[in-house]
């Protein structure tokens, strides 16, 4: 009889090492995981900034293959770092567990004071995984595909020149809806409804909602309200031929110039982002906590 040894469990750690708090938090998480017998992998560039034991594995760059053999990606940082982690983990399918070291951090599952709990839940596999809708984005120009991209939060078409508006026409499922001059237009997921779209006056959407959101920014028009469509819809923002060129931002991280006449089409993404969850708290409670909403007058019975 031959015995087989189970492969060691490995966790990838991604941190915003430019913050002292992230460096200390990363050290605590790494040491806690190693003490429990888990392997830890980090990027070489970040390892140089972290006081790590020699047993920690390093990889040169944040590519899909870097997560091979990892059961989880732990991300320490603010919203920007968490979006970077989502970008890193999406193609591999490895779940991401975010620890918020910034301000709001809707993508995060834990705060910096919860590091011991995070380590314990990871070691005991006491977490669940949920999938979040993404966006697939295609830029067309003169009948050609100019650019393809994706987003977890939003794809934002924006003006470049501060002194001139961007003239656009909006369409849903190939049918024009309205046109106006504006600072931009945001196409967002429910996850992204609490990000840029929220700042632009869009509605808050619960993550379980299957829908797409379109929010104008600074539009000069009578009809310039947020639009919510089915997840099967195709949202389109077309830059008018006579207007200055615009720019497309995906999650505020990836950008491409939009020449006059370009059309940005946004659909529900084929590949979701997988998030590890430690808590069963409702999104309502998360919303109240993140924005410190006043609820002291509520007298309803808890459910």
Give the residue numbers annotated as catalytic, written as ranges: 79
Q: Is 195 known as a binding-site position?
A: yes
Phi, psi (deg, nearest 5) at residue 86: -65, -40
Residue 223: closest CA among 176, 164, 180: 180
> Is residue 199 a known part of a binding site?
yes
Q: Is 198 annotated as a binding residue?
A: yes
- In the three-class reduction of DSSP (H, G, I as helix; E, B as strand; rest coil), residue 246 is classed as strand
Vertex 106, ends 104 and 110: CA angle to 5°? 90
Contact status, residue 55 vs residue 41, Cβ threshold 8 Å? no
The annotation status of 197 as a binding-site residue, yes or no, is yes
Answer yes or no: is 194 a known binding residue: yes
Burial letters 168-197, b for 16+ CB under 10 A, else e: bebbbeeeeebbbbbbbbbbbbbbbbbbbb
Task: Determine the Cα–Cα distance for residues 169 and 202; give it in Å rounded to an integer.
Answer: 19
Token pair listed for 283: 């999104």
The verdict on whether residue 10 carries a ligand-binding annotation is: no
Is 68 annotated for ligand binding? Answer: no
CB 212 within 8 A of CB 233: yes
Query: Is 153 annotated to bind ligand?
Result: yes
CA angle 250, 132, 178 (to 5 degrees): 50
Rounded Cα distance, 269 and 135, in Å: 4
Length of the chain as a residue count: 303
* Binding positions: 79-80, 84, 153-154, 164, 183, 194-199
* Binding positions for NAD(+): 79-80, 84, 153-154, 164, 183, 194-199
């Amino acid at each position: 009889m031959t015995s087989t040894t189970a492969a060691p469990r490995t966790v990838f750690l991604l941190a915003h090492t430019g913050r002292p708090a992230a460096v200390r938090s990363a050290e605590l998480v790494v040491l806690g995981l190693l003490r429990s017998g888990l392997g830890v992998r980090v990027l070489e560039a970040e390892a140089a900034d972290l006081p790590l034991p020699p047993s920690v594995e390093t990889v040169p760059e944040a590519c899909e293959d870097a997560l091979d053999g990892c059961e989880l990606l732990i991300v320490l940082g603010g919203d920007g770092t968490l979006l970077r982690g989502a970008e890193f983990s999406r193609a591999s399918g490895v779940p991401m567990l975010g620890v918020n070291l910034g301000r709001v951090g809707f993508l995060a599952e834990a705060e910096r004071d919860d590091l011991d709990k995070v380590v314990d839940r990871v070691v005991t596999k006491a977490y669940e995984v949920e999938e979040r809708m993404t966006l697939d984005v295609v830029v067309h120009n003169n009948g050609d595909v100019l650019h393809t991209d994706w987003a977890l939060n939003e794809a934002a078409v924006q003006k470049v020149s501060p002194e001139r508006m961007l003239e656009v026409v909006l369409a849903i499922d190939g049918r024009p809806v309205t046109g106006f001059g504006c600072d931009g237009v945001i196409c967002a997921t429910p996850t992204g409804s609490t990000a840029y779209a929220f700042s632009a006056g869009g509605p808050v959407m619960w993550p379980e909602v299957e829908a797409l959101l379109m929010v104008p920014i600074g539009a000069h028009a009578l009809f310039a309200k947020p639009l919510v469509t089915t997840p099967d819809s195709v949202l389109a923002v077309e830059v008018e031929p006579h207007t200055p060129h615009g720019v497309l931002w995906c999650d505020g991280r990836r950008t491409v110039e939009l020449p006059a006449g370009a059309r940005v089409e946004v659909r529900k993404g084929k590949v979701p982002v997988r998030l590890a969850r430690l808590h069963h708290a409702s999104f309502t409670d998360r919303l109240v906590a993140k924005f410190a909403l006043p609820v002291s007058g509520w007298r309803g019975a808890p459910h």
